[in-house]
Amino acid sequence: MISPVLLDTSAWNRFRAPGLSAERTEELAEATDSGHVVVCLPFLLEAGFTAQNAEEHRLMMATLLGLPRVHLDPTAETAAVEAQHQLARVGHQRIRPADLLIAALADRHELGVLHYGHHYDLIGEQTDLRYDSVWLAEPGSL
């Protein structure tokens, strides 16, 4: 079973990818059903941005708003800004703001981040933010 993780759009957009194994799909379903998949406002806004129309947005939000949620607070906001500064010192300040907020929230709430992109590994390696980087699938497999 997956330990509690914040969901990133890079993973969400690939939940139904043809290359995702049936075993991993079942593991994600169990984690979601048991409340181990968590969302936050930056993720919700990114996911909603991908909707093609109002009906798709409504259906998507009906699903996502039913998941456990963590909220931004001044501590997480400050941590995200500091992480961006730490990344700027090593030439990586162009990480998407939503990803920095998700990483800061994961650190703040002791959650992992479920994703499919190297940027969460980079944030974890180059900043003070600490969280488990949980790949949806092996990099490059989807």
| Per-residue pLDDT reduced to its tens digit, 2-26 | 799 999 999 999 988 889 999 999 9
Find all residues with CB under 8 Å of 130, minimum gap 6, and list them.
107, 124
Place of tokens 């920095």: 100
R_g of the chain, CA atoms, integer Å: 15
Q: What pLDDT does residue 127 have? A: 98
Contact indicator for 76, 105 with CB cutoff of 8 Å: yes
Strand partners, 7: 114
Q: What is the mean pLDDT of residues 91-108?
A: 96
Whether 100 shows a pLDDT value over 90: the answer reads: yes
Nearest alpha-carbon partner for 86 in 131, 129, 134: 129
Instruction: Give the Å distances, CA to CA, from 106 to 16, 87, 124, 131.
Output: 24, 17, 11, 6
Domain ranges of the chain: 5-135
Q: Which helix (H) or strand (E) holds 112?
A: strand 112-115
Structure tokens at 28: 């994600």
Please give the CATH superfamily to which domain 5-135 belongs. 5'-nuclease (3.40.50.1010)
In whole numbers, what is the pLDDT of the chain averaged over residues? 95
Token readout for 57 is: 């947005």
- Tell me the pLDDT band of 93, cut-offs 50, 70 and 90: confident
Q: pLDDT per residue over 36-80, tens digit each?
A: 999 999 999 999 999 999 999 999 999 999 999 999 999 999 999
How do residues 109-126 score in pLDDT, each as one tens digit? Answer: 999 999 999 999 999 999
The owner of tokens 């981040």 is 113
* Per-residue model confidence (pLDDT) at position 16: 85
135: pLDDT confidence band, cut at 50, 70 and 90?
very high
